[in-house]
Amino acid sequence: RSIGSRQQRAADVAVAVLLASPVVMNPSGFEPYQLPKLTVQALAALVAVTALIAGPGLRPSRTWLWPGALVAVLALAALLSGSPTTALLGSSARRFGVAQWLLLMVVFVVAQHWATSADRARALSVLSLSSVPVSVLALLQRAGFDPFDWSAAAMVRPISSVGNATFLGGYLAMA
């Protein structure tokens, strides 16, 4: 099931970018979290899928069935929703849209092809390292020294670059 070294490097880079995407934000934008993260995740997912398709060993698996079904149901729900754009892209208050669920499916497929414990350890290292700037920004916000001009909600509870205090806590708990 191993893929070539060039494809493996591309997949490693793509997954590293996906895992580090909570650091990405655009503080001057209307929706400073979702669109920049979605863009970075989409590019990384494209690189990962291209690397896996170019290499040998990418075969559909039964383990893809349930996550694929979830994405299909979410896509149908987004099409029928009262706010299709929010359903597709997500929001800071409501978390993922269908596009990000699809990207999570890509991460699942790429992670399935990481067969060795060294690969999994590398992914966990990237996740842990990406939590450092997120944590530092949260601590600065808590101390009242926020380098960005956020809404008043940031002054009550730190939101860091994640965009929501609850999501920040969940991300840091996983990291």
Q: How far apart are CA 65 and CA 73, in angstroms?
A: 12
Query: Sign of the C-alpha dihedral, residues 95, 40, 35, 135?
Result: positive
Query: Sign of the C-alpha dihedral, residues 18, 67, 124, 172?
Result: positive
Provide the whole-model pTM: 0.64
Contact 22, 63 (CB under 8 A): no
Residues 53-83 pLDDT 10s: 666 555 667 777 777 788 889 889 989 999 8
Residues 115-148 pLDDT 10s: 577 777 877 887 888 889 889 999 998 888 888 7
Contact 105, 94 (CB under 8 A): no
